[in-house]
Structure 1
C-alpha cells in the first residue's frame, strides 16, 4: 500500500498556499466638541478608536480519504521476477490513470480542498482484489476507485454488499448487472447505452419508417440489438419497423427489394467480426451506388484499422463513442501542459480519464464534507467525455452520456 497525501496546490503540484490573514479594520468616530465660555477657540477631542473584534480563522476543509485499487503488480520489480507483456500493459494503464487522477486532486487542493489518497496494488489477480475488500482502511474510505477489470471488480464487490461508500468502476464498460452492487458507479457507458444513443438519434433526427439490422449470427450481438430495438419501439411508439436479417457471405438480395431510392436506407451492423464486416460492407458499398445508405456501426469500429475511412465515408457511417477529445480546447491544452511538466511524458487516454474522474469525484467529496452524493443532479463536462448519471436499483449509478460521430473529410467527427 502506498499512501500519498494530496496537499499540493497548483496543477504543477509543487506547493500549497493557505491564506490565514486576519484583517483589522479601524473605524474612526466623529470628533466631539465641548463649547466653553472663556477662550473663544476650542480644540476638538482626539478621535476615539474602537477596534473591531478579530475575524475567526478559516476552518481547514475536511480531509477526504480515497482508496485506489490498481494493478501495478509491483512484485514483478523484485529480483528474479519480471513483467509479462500483459502485466506490463496493465501496469502502464494503472500508472497513467493514477497520474491523471492525482493531477486533478492537486489542482483541487489549490482551491482549498483536502485529500488523502491511498494506493493499493491488486497485482492483476482476482484473489488479491477479493482480499483487499476486507482491508479496514479500504472499507473506511470515503470513496473507493477500482479495481479496473470486471472480474477483479466482481470479486471485490461481492464482499462489500452492504450500505457503504461508492465504488467507482473507472475504466470497464461492463454491464452493471454483471456486478450487481448498489454502490457501484460505472463511469464508462456500457454497450446498451451506445445502442440507446444510436436508436434515439435515428428516431429523432432521421425520422425513418424502417431500420435494417444486419446480423452475423453470433449471440453476443444481442447485447446491442435488444436495447436498440426496445428504444426504437419505445420512442417511435411502434411507427418505426426494425427488420433483422442474418447475412451469409455478404448476400443482401432479400433486403434489396425493400430498399428505397428516394430516401436513405438506415442500416445497423452490430458485429465486430472482421471477416463478416469485410464481405458485408463490400456488398453494401456496391448497393450504395443505387440505394442511398446511412450506416450505424458498433462503437469498437473506431479502433479497427481494417475499416478504411473512404469506405466508411461513402456509406455515411455513424459510430457512437464515449471518448471525444478536442485537442484545440483550452482546457485540454492546459491539462497536457501540466501533465508534461509533472511527468515528462504526453498523457494517454487513461490519464485523460483519470483526470476527468479525479476532478468530478474530488469536487463532490470536497463540496459534501467527504460524501459523494447527488450524482444524478451533477453533470460534468470533461476533457475525455461528459458525465450524466442515472441510478438503477440494485446496480448503482451509470454514466449514460454517449457521443454520436460520423465520417466527414475522411475523419471521424462529433455530431452531438
Structure 2
C-alpha cells in the first residue's frame, strides 16, 4: 500500500515418479497474477474561504457643505446631529457584531436633506450594489430616492420616518417606525379586548389632520368589535361638551378618543373633561405625539386616565440600556440620544439578518426583535414593502407612562 509496487509469484513443486520408465506428467506453473496498484490521492491544501462581507450604504442628512460655510442655523444643526447620532449608534452595532466573526463594509453618504441630492444618489453604482441601503431619513428625500430605485431588488430601510409607505409605493421599502394607522389599530384593539365598552366618544377639533388617525381607528373598532361598540363623533367648539352629558355613564368608564395635536383645542377641551371627571368616570385615548407635548401636564393626564400608543419608550434603567450608554460614552465621549439608540437597535437587527445570508432578509417577517427603544414585527404588504406593526399601549400612572399592553 501507500503507492509501493509489489508482486506475488506462486512457485509450484515438480513431482517425479521413480518406479516406471514411462514419462511422468509435469504440473505446469500458473501465470503470475498482478495485484492492482492502489494509489492514495495526494492531500490537497484546503481552499481558503474568504469571509462574507456585507455592503451597507447609509444615506443621512449631514449637510456638510452647508455646515462648512459657518452658518448658525439651528434647523440644519438639528438635522446634522440626528445624522451623526444615528450613524454612531449604527456603527457601534456593527462593531459589536464583528466580534462574532461577521464582516461589514459601511459606506456613508450625505443626503443633505435635499430631494435633488437623494435623487442623484439613487443612480450611484456603489449604492445600487449594496446588500442593504439605510436612508434617506426624511419623507421628501425617501420619495425622491425610491422613485428611481423601483426595480432594484435591494431592501431600502426608512430608519426614522413613520410616514405611510403608501406615500412611496416601493415594494423594497422597509418601514421601521410604525405609521399612524397602526397606532389607531393598537388603541382600538386595547379598547375592544380589555376595556370592552358599549360605546366610545370621538372628540374632533375640526381640523382635517384628525382624519389621519380617525379613519383607521373607526375601521379598526368596527372590525374588531364586529360593530358591537357604538361610535359617537362630536366636533367640539370652545370645549363645549354639554350635549354629551345625557349619554355619559355614572358607573362605567366613558371612553373618549382625541386624535388632535392642536394646542388651543387640547388645553380647553381637556379642562372641560377634567371638570366632568369629578362626576363621571373618564378614560381618554390621545394621539401618540402627546407624550412629547410639554404643555400637557402629567397630573392632568393622570387624573383623566390618559392612554397613548407609542412605538418607542426607552427604559433607561434596563441593564442592556445602561451597558449601551457606557460603551457609547467610552467610544464617542458623548451622551447617546434616542437617535443613537435607534441606530444601534437597527444596526444590530439588520446587521444580523445580513450575516445570516440572503435568507435573513428574505424572511424578515419571521425575524422578530426586541430592542432598547421598540420591538420589530414586520408584515409584508403588496406593493408597499415591509412594515413594522408593533405598537405598545401606555397609561399615565405615578406621573409617568406605564405600559399596559
Pairwise CA distance, 1:160:
0.4
Matched position secondary structure for 1:401: coil
| Residue in 2 that maps onto 1:38 | none
| Matches of 2:72 and 2:143, distance apart in 1 | 25
Matched position secondary structure for 2:362: coil
Q: Confirm whether residue 76 of structure 1 aligns to residue 60 of structure 2.
A: no
1:181 to 153, 158, 170: 170
**Contact 1:65–1:370 (CA<8 Å) still a contact in 2?**
no
How has the CA–CA distance of structure 1 residues 204 and 192 changed in structure 2, closer, same or farther, with 3 Å as cutoff? Answer: same
Matched position secondary structure for 2:247: coil
Normalization by structure 2: what TM-score? Answer: 0.87
Q: Confirm whether residue 63 of structure 1 aligns to residue 73 of structure 2.
A: no
Pairwise CA distance, 1:59:
3.9
| Matches of 1:388 and 1:106, distance apart in 2 | 24
| Residue in 2 that maps onto 1:282 | 271
Q: Confirm whether residue 201 of structure 1 aligns to residue 163 of structure 2.
A: no
**CA RMSD of the aligned region, Å?**
1.6
| Matches of 2:49 and 2:292, distance apart in 1 | 49
**Contact 1:142–1:370 (CA<8 Å) still a contact in 2?**
no
| Matches of 1:55 and 1:261, distance apart in 2 | 84
Task: Answer with 158-167 or 57-66: which moved more.
Answer: 57-66
State which structure, 1 or 2, has the greater radius of gyration over its C-alpha atoms.
Answer: 2
| Residue in 1 that maps onto 2:86 | 97
Pairwise CA distance, 1:318:
0.4
CA deviation map 1:264-320 (0-9, x unaligned) = 000110000000001101000000111101110001100111111111000000011
Matched position secondary structure for 2:233: strand
Pairwise CA distance, 1:74:
1.1
| Matches of 2:268 and 2:220, distance apart in 1 | 29
Matched position secondary structure for 2:361: coil
| Residue in 2 that maps onto 1:391 | 380
Q: Confirm whether residue 360 of structure 1 aligns to residue 360 of structure 2.
A: no
| Residue in 1 that maps onto 2:7 | none
**Contact 1:210–1:240 (CA<8 Å) still a contact in 2?**
yes
Matched position secondary structure for 2:257: strand
1:312 to 301, 313, 316: 301
| Matches of 2:359 and 2:55, distance apart in 1 | 8
Matched position secondary structure for 2:163: coil
| Matches of 2:392 and 2:281, distance apart in 1 | 24
Matched position secondary structure for 1:260: coil
| Residue in 1 that maps onto 2:154 | 165
Q: Unaligned regions of 5+ residues in structure 1, if any?
A: 1-52
| Residue in 2 that maps onto 1:114 | 103
Pairwise CA distance, 1:61:
3.1
How has the CA–CA distance of structure 1 residues 316 and 119 changed in structure 2, closer, same or farther, with 3 Å as cutoff? Answer: same
| Matches of 1:300 and 1:55, distance apart in 2 | 62
**Contact 2:198–2:228 (CA<8 Å) still a contact in 1?**
yes
Q: Confirm whether residue 236 of structure 1 aligns to residue 222 of structure 2.
A: no
How has the CA–CA distance of structure 1 residues 173 and 354 changed in structure 2, closer, same or farther, with 3 Å as cutoff? Answer: same
| Residue in 1 that maps onto 2:253 | 264
Normalization by structure 1: what TM-score? Answer: 0.85
| Residue in 2 that maps onto 1:249 | 238
How has the CA–CA distance of structure 1 residues 160 and 371 changed in structure 2, closer, same or farther, with 3 Å as cutoff? Answer: farther
| Matches of 1:370 and 1:236, distance apart in 2 | 38
Matched position secondary structure for 2:116: helix
**Paired residue total:** 363
Matches within 5 A, 1:310-349: 310-349=299-338
How has the CA–CA distance of structure 1 residues 133 and 308 changed in structure 2, closer, same or farther, with 3 Å as cutoff? Answer: same
**Contact 1:70–1:146 (CA<8 Å) still a contact in 2?**
yes
**Contact 2:128–2:152 (CA<8 Å) still a contact in 1?**
no
**Contact 1:75–1:81 (CA<8 Å) still a contact in 2?**
no
Q: Confirm whether residue 149 of structure 1 aligns to residue 138 of structure 2.
A: yes
Matched position secondary structure for 1:350: helix
| Matches of 1:177 and 1:122, distance apart in 2 | 22
**Contact 1:142–1:371 (CA<8 Å) still a contact in 2?**
no
| Matches of 2:359 and 2:143, distance apart in 1 | 25
| Matches of 2:47 and 2:319, distance apart in 1 | 36
Pairwise CA distance, 1:76:
2.8
| Matches of 1:218 and 1:278, distance apart in 2 | 16
**Contact 1:224–1:270 (CA<8 Å) still a contact in 2?**
yes
| Matches of 1:397 and 1:155, distance apart in 2 | 19
Pairwise CA distance, 1:323:
1.1
